[in-house]
Chain A
Amino acid sequence: MSVATIFEIALAAVVLGLGIWTTAVRDTYSATVGFVVYGLLVALIWVRLDAVDVALTEAAISGGLGGVLLLGAAARVRDAGFMAAEAPGKAARVSAAALSMLTAAALTVAVFLLPDSASTLAPAVVAHAWATGLTNPVTNVLMAFRAMDTMLEKVVLLLALVGVWSLARDSAWGGRPGPRHQADPNGVLVFLARLLPPIGMVVGIYIFWTGADHPGGAFQGGAILASMWLLAIMAGLTDTPPVNRRRLRLLLVAGPGLFLVVGLGGLWFGAAFLAYSPALAKPALLLAGTPERSAQQ
């Protein structure tokens, strides 16, 4: 057994231990903290699996937006002291454990029995990279070869946002989705919120830009930009835009809309692939960012 294998086993053990702790711990808030840390550690596994694009997505989402969303919800739900939910009976627990173990065992067997020569589309992706001029294969797949998925994903984000907005109280409808945050103007938080966003914007745009040739891309960069926006909101430096502002809505629809226009244009001009447009950054930022913010209403 090599040193690297020992390290891999250790990493897997740490991640799994954290997962078990997250599932087993009594306090919901602790479980949420455990899950956020779990998400960040999973990014390490992705790096080890040589899937840095995914690692970036995982880190950007669970470290920024997702973590804040879950922790905020956990704090609000916990403070009301409703924890009297009754657990299922012993028989149910035992059968659930049996079912889970069976599933895990079946998946383990499947992993060990993976065929040696797996069918893969990787050579095809590499062979057609000339069509886009980009050298990051993952970005090629996302933006060109499977652009349909990405477009529908943006639609899903939009639907989630509409769903979150629709859940707002009637009195709040059409207004700002959450209360304005306030913080001590001379406090540490405001200091950080003034210092970090400029740096974060540079990093976010860099991650987006480098996505053409190296791991990175619009989602990861967009998530970072949205996190920076969220930081400014949490420090009370800026406010969430009102839901009924026409410009915001147009901007949100522009994401999938742009995809549709580019796709239809490709069809019209007889080109085989959707082109990659840098204009996607802003809609991606908004689409990734706004559901989260409004969920905190």
Chain B
Amino acid sequence: MNDFLIAAVGFILAMLALGLVSILRGPDNTDRMMAAQLIGTAGIATLLLLGTVGAVPAAVDVALTLALLATFASIAFVKKGLASLEADGAGSAEDK
């Protein structure tokens, strides 16, 4: 059972790495920001499986923290460096 799970972790980690390569290469920063979201799904799945394999039950709490904060990097990207941008009249979509 453990061997199967750790093989699954390895597989998902490989998918995560491939996804990262694809995203970080991406033409502009909009693509790169997806990397944080990739951690929010594949990273959390890796963490959950890892916790089960290594018998580290508290890994679930780490995953909970990551899931809770998964949106933050993207929000920071969307809001950008508010002050300077707003002054230039180049606020982002969410800014009025």
Contacts and interface: CB of A to CB of B under 8 A. Distances in A.
Bound together? yes
Given A33-B32, A59-B65, A187-B94, A14 B75 contact: no
Interface in A95-121: none
Nearest to A60: B65
Interface size class of A (residues with CB under 8 A): 35 or more
A113 to B, nearest CB: 26
A33 B84 contact: no
Contacts of A17: 17
A234 B96 contact: no
A201 B94 CA distance: 24
Given A10-B13, A36-B36, A48-B50, A210 B61 contact: yes
A17 B94 CA distance: 34
A52 B79 CA distance: 32
A75 interface: yes
Contact of B58 (A33, A37, A52, A230): A52
B62 A3 contact: no
B73 A71 contact: yes
A207 B50 CA distance: 20
Contact of B6 (A7, A73, A188): A7
Interface stretch (A38-46, A141-149, A152-160): A38-46
Contacts of B81: 72-77, 79
B61 A56 contact: yes
Q: Is the interface of B mostly helix, strand, loop or mixed?
A: helix
A68 B73 contact: yes
Nearest to B29: A29
Contacts of B73: 33, 36, 63, 67-68, 71
A60 B68 CA distance: 9
Interface in B1-39: 3, 6-7, 9-10, 13-14, 16-17, 20, 24, 29, 32-33, 35-36, 38-39
A200 interface: yes
Q: Is the interface of A mostly helix, strand, loop or mixed?
A: helix
Interface in B40-73: 43, 46-47, 50-51, 53-54, 56-59, 61-62, 64-66, 68-73
B94 A183 contact: yes
Contacts of A50: 54, 56
Contacts of B83: 76, 178-179, 296-297
Contacts of A271: none
A196 B38 CA distance: 20
A4 B35 CA distance: 25
B48 to A, nearest CB: 10
25 contacts: A14-B20, A18-B20, A30-B32, A37-B38, A44-B43, A44-B50, A47-B50, A48-B54, A52-B58, A63-B69, A71-B73, A72-B80, A74-B81, A75-B80, A77-B81, A80-B84, A179-B82, A179-B83, A187-B93, A189-B75, A203-B68, A214-B61, A216-B58, A216-B61, A227-B68
Interface of B: 3, 6-7, 9-10, 13-14, 16-17, 20, 24, 29, 32-33, 35-36, 38-39, 43, 46-47, 50-51, 53-54, 56-59, 61-62, 64-66, 68-73, 75-86, 88, 90, 93-96
Nearest 4 interchain pairs by C-beta: A76-B81, A63-B69, A75-B81, A71-B76
Given A3-B3, A182-B95, 15 more contacts: A7-B6, A14-B13, A47-B50, A47-B51, A48-B54, A64-B72, A67-B72, A77-B81, A79-B90, A183-B95, A184-B94, A192-B75, A196-B68, A203-B65, A203-B68
